[in-house]
Structure 1
């Protein structure tokens, strides 16, 4: 009996336990149904609006029992999201346009640096060097096919000496070309400004080229003005640079004693002879100006340098170089100005209100190697060791009696006549 009672008791307790478990499961299912109905998307809605939209559309299609009001609500939400998306796209377009405008307004030097290469951090003191040598332009032979064909024969390493000449300077042209031949310079070309000069060069075996008829050139030649003819070179040189050639521009009143291409640096847009006669005037110096009325601030420091000679300079085919030629030619076409003054103003004047300066690099040639006639006749020939020094070129730019002085220079340096220069005064007679 005892054993049976224990069995019954044990069975009763197990039944109670099972019934409790069943009740708990049933309650859980009931509560779950309630929450499933009340919160169809769950407690934590971490989905993106796009995911919610997809889930909602699935529920609409898979739950035919859901009310039409719920469907309309979901549709309105979708429309609202589409409108917001369109608004965001418009904002993106506006911001992109503003960004482009900001990019266009950036500093030109910074933009140039970004084009030329990637940005770098500044190195240690003494190691930082700025850009000096601008890249050359892409050659464009369509500018002048006839000249392009000629330059392929004449130029060496895509560089050559170029001189402009008309029949009025034929005798100086003869001394000029003979000195070039004597030194052994093969890459040079005379731009003949008239038919007589072209025929003369051909008879002398001098490489020459005559431009096609040009009303602007013809009108300048009719004036027979040296300054007007000098201004032509800036227009004519542009084609050489566009074709991708570096030019050593030379006036005719120059005697060549060495090959100038052996003494160029080629690290700047423009490399020019100076009108200076010593280290200060040729390369620059600090000049102090005095104004006594200012009392304590009576002294003001200024930086000065004597001008570059626009009759002898080396110019590389770069964008700043071409811009320089365009600026000078434009100003000379609008007013009667001295081409050398305009040439230097465009090279040196900085940007200031109402004016954008030229971003061109420049180098001053060694004034003892590329010598002007003031250095020779006023200074050097009076030195005791003068006979032992031989410059690369001598430019008779300071004296109006050019031809006799050119011939005397040849007599002295080439033929060894020691007193060939003595008869000439330091300056001119007027």
Structure 2
């Protein structure tokens, strides 16, 4: 039997092995030929990209001046807008202040002076007594404003109204003001003769613009007519931001009154009272027997403030007082200005009437002395005769001019019997 020899078999999978070997060899060849990688760009391409980038940067640098100009324009626009906003803020602030002035006094104090506070321990609580001054408004009367800037001292001035009917007393009035050395005073002349008289004596004088129907009465009228006009005149002084010490002409100045004011109230006035009770108030008991057990009714009384000598600060309550008095006097021509002045100042709010919310102070009646105190009490008391008042107001007596001269003789010239010829009261 013949034996069949088989052909030896080739190594299975040799094509795979060959492929692996070939791949490795190719990898080595490429590694040698392209050490920086087969897919890396050539230097020419890199140079092209760098050139393109430089071109873009150059283009950007060319655009920067335009961009800067645009930014500067934006800054200018924003600056102008900011200035406009600041101006509007100031205007709104002014309007807010004006609005606050029209609010109730207590609320205004809370808004402007601080936050609401808790009450302190017993006996330590003190409420606010001084109202805020108004914002000065020079547009009210530029001519008067210019004059007051020249003569006022710390925004305060003595003001008196005068016509030719009181020329003799006016001379005594300003002569003693000059002697005391008071620089801040002004005569409001109601006719041309007083203007000339004041100028010839070196007295600061101001004549109002004509106001027919009002000034015409004062030019020829007596004390009451002039007294009624003063409430209208004083309003402009307060609106301009000045505190005013109103003085009638029948007053002798012996000291500077500005050294003796408290300035803690809207109105600080001399009194027609003649002792502590009448000047500063007292409890007066009214007896009505028909009421039996309730026959005694307690009342509070105070003698009136004198409307011929008072100090006013430029506050809303003070201006409102002037408006109220001037308004009533125009509607009630037969009313006495001093009575109206006190009613509007003191009457409280009640059904159908809103009272004036004004702070008030009564002046020391020995320093700011009325003629009743002088002739009825002081001249008869050895100790009181040694006092030197700030002013003496001859309000209780019709023979004003001779008594004014006697006051000067007594207090200025030292004539001890100068007051003796006059009775306590008047002969009429």
What TM-score results when the alignment is normalised by the length of structure 1? 0.74
In 1, the alpha carbon distance for the partners of 2:409 and 2:222 equals 30
Q: Does 1:414 align with 2:412?
A: yes
Q: Please say if 1:157 is aligned against 2:154.
A: yes
Q: Tell me how far apart the structure 2 counterparts of residues 272 and 222 of structure 1 sit (CA, whole Å).
A: 26
Counterpart of 2:108 in structure 1 is: 112
User: In structure 1, what is the equivalent of residue 194 of structure 2?
Assistant: 197
Aligned-pair distance for 1:223?
5.6
Aligned to 1:167: 164
Distance in 1 of aligned mates of 2:410 and 2:344:
38
Matching residue within 304, 310, 315 for 1:313: 310
Which consecutive residues of structure 2, in runs of 5 or more, have no partner in the other structure?
Answer: 1-99
Cα distance between partner residues in 2 of 1:311 and 1:331: 18
Distance 2:198 2:308 in 1: 21
Looking at structure 2, the residues matched to 323 and 206 of structure 1 have their Cα atoms a distance apart, in angstroms, of 30
User: 1:209-266: CA deviations, max 9, x gaps?
Assistant: 0001111333323662421221100000000000000000000000000000000000
Pair 1:222–1:389, CA change in 2 (3 A): closer
Alignment partner of 1:255 is 2:252: yes
Aligned to 2:44: none
Q: Counterparts of 1:21-60 in structure 2 under 5 Å?
A: none
**1:367 aligns with one of 357, 365, 369:** 365
Deviation at 1:387, TM superposition (A): 3.5
**Separation of aligned partners in 1, 2:142 and 2:176:** 30
> In structure 1, what is the Cα distance between the partners aligned to 2:150 and 2:220?
33
Structure 1 moving runs of 4+ over 2 Å: 107-117, 216-219
1:424 corresponds to which residue?
Answer: 422
Contact 2:165 2:222 (C-alpha < 8 Å) held by counterparts? no
1:137-172: CA deviations, max 9, x gaps?
000000000000000001000001000000110000
What residue is the counterpart of 1:395 in the other structure? 393
Trace 1:18-97 onto structure 2 (pairs within 5 A): none
CA 1:237–1:292: 2 relative to 1, 3 Å: same
Q: What is the SS of the residue equivalent to 1:248?
A: strand
Distance 1:229 1:146, change over 3 A: same
Task: Say how many residue pairs are matched.
Answer: 326
- The 8 Å contact of residues 280 and 302 in structure 2, kept in 1 or not, is answered as yes
Whether contact under 8 Å (2:378, 2:385) holds in the other structure is: no
Say what the alpha-carbon RMSD is for the aligned residues: 1.5
Select which of 231, 237, 240 maps to 2:237: 240
CA distance in 1: counterparts of 2:261 and 2:380, whole angstroms: 28
Measured against aligned partners, the alpha-carbon deviations of 1:76-129 in whole angstroms (never above 9, x if no partner) come to xxxxxxxxxxxxxxxxxxxxxxxxxxxx9xx93442333333211100111111
Question: CA distance change for structure 1 residues 186 and 163 in 2, over 3 Å: closer, same or farther?
Answer: same
- 1:389 is displaced (CA, Å) by 1.2
**Gap change, CA 1:165 and 1:142, over 3 Å in 2:** same
Q: C-alpha distance in 2, partners of 1:319/1:152?
A: 22
Distance in 1 separating the partners of 2:215 and 2:411: 38
Given candidates 276, 292, 300, the residue that maps to 2:273 is 276
Say whether residues 1:286 and 2:283 are aligned partners. yes
CA distance in 2, matches of 1:283, 1:293: 31
Distance 1:110 1:412, change over 3 A: closer
Matched position secondary structure for 1:273: strand
Question: Aligned partners of 1:316, 1:389: CA distance in 2, in Å?
Answer: 28
> 1:215 and 2:212 equivalent?
yes
